[in-house]
Amino acid sequence: MFGFQKLQIYQLAKELVKYDYKLTRKFPSGEKFALVQQMNRAAVSVPSNIAEGTSRKSNKDKAHFVNIAYGSLMELVCQMEIALELGYIEEKEYEEFIAMVKNLSVKMSNFLKTVVEE
C-alpha cells in the first residue's frame, strides 16, 4: 500500500467519486458527453490530485496539488447544484453530497495546515 492510500482525505475523496458515479448514471442520455463527463472528471480529479500531491517530496508541491484537488471539489459542487436545478438529482441526494463535501473539505483544510506548518 502506498502512503497516500492510507490518508483519510484520499479515502473520503474516493467515496465521493463513487457517489458521483452513482448519481450521474441516472442522468438523461443526452448529458452523457456533457454534464456527466464534466462531473466525473472533476470527481476523479479530487483523489487523483491528492494522490499525486501527497506523494511529492516538498511541502510546497503537496500543498499545491491538494489546493488543485480542492478546486476540483468546488467545481463538482457547482455541477451538482446545476444537476439539482435541472431535476437530475433529488434534494436528498444533493444534501447527502454536500455533507460529504463539507466533511472532506474540512479534513483537506486541516491536512493543508499540517503540511504548511512542517
The 10s digit of each residue's pLDDT in 8-63 is 999 999 999 999 999 999 999 999 999 999 999 999 999 999 999 999 999 999 99
Which CATH architecture group holds 3-117?
Up-down Bundle (1.20)
Give me the amino acid identity at 99.
A
- The pTM score is 0.96
Query: What are the cell numbers at 65?
Result: 496539488
Alpha-carbon distance of 94 to 96, in angstroms, equals 5
55: which DSSP letter?
A: T
Task: Give the pLDDT score at 52.
Answer: 97
Neighbour count for residue 7 (Cβ, 10 Å): 17
Q: What are the residue boundaries of the structural domains of the chain, listed by start?
A: 3-117
Query: To which residue does cell 476540483 refer?
Result: 72
- Output the CA torsion sign for 13, 18, 23, 26: positive
6: which DSSP letter?
A: G
User: Cα 81 to chain center, whole Å?
Assistant: 14
Backbone angles phi, psi at 45, to 5 degrees: -65, -30
Alpha-carbon distance of 14 to 98, in angstroms, equals 15
- Band of pLDDT at residue 110, cut at 50, 70 and 90: very high
Average pLDDT over residues 87-110: 98
